[in-house]
Amino acid sequence: MTTLPQLTARTPGLPCRLDPNTFFSDQARERDAAQRLCQTCPLRTPCARYALEERIPHGVWGGTTVAERRAFWTGKPWRFDDAGRLRLLCGSERAYRAHFAYREKPGAACVGGDCVEAHAMHVEAQRRARLAEEHDKGGTIRGYQIHWALGEPPCDPCRAANARGSASRRRKPSRRLQRPPTPSGTPGNGAAAPAQAFPLAS
């Protein structure tokens, strides 16, 4: 297997060999310049792969910075998108969320996997976990709702809990505010107010 040092030795004119200081600078401006130089490098992908696999904690390798590579040290498959950004291969919840961060539509923009299916499985797993908690409580109204959200009929304990909740709500008195009765002979009950007498001027 050909190693990265062997590839760089065979490839003349590589920017990182002509001006290595730019690729290991602490200055943000120089790091940005190094990333731009990597965009057209024929060794960009193997260079980035080498830095990711070896977890190199310094420098710009294959157009990636240390901060970008650190997020991919999980060992999961990755790719460069059309804009040159380091991304996970599709098919996970994290890749699904990245589509929205980059204003993409999951599914249509997927590469190497199905993020829509992965998200659906993630949501179902979360609901199943929550449903197990509701079952540990002996069945609840929330569990009843989760059953329907999963597209399945509720279990007997959750159905019974929902029935008890519905019966309790029906027994509660109405909370509608009633206007207190107006005393007889005062305005507001249909009776005219008595005329007020005024003294006559002498």
Q: Per-10-residue mean pLDDT for the chain, 202 residues long?
A: 83 91 94 93 92 93 93 87 89 95 93 95 97 97 97 96 91 64 56 54 48
Write the CA distances from 129 to 7, 50, 89, 144, integer angstroms.
49, 39, 26, 14
Write the CA distances from 143 to 28, 123, 124, 126, 168, integer angstroms.
52, 15, 14, 13, 18
Beta-bridge partner residues of 79: 87
Q: How far apart are CA 84 and CA 18, in angstroms?
A: 22
Residue 142: the pLDDT is 97
Residue 5: the pLDDT is 84
Q: How far apart are CA 30 and CA 33, in angstroms?
A: 5
Residue 9: the pLDDT is 86
Q: 79 — phi, psi (to 5°)?
A: -155, 165
Residue 199: the pLDDT is 55
Greatest Cα pair distance, the chain, in angstroms, is: 125
Residue 202: the pLDDT is 44
pTM of the model: 0.66
Residue 184: the pLDDT is 59
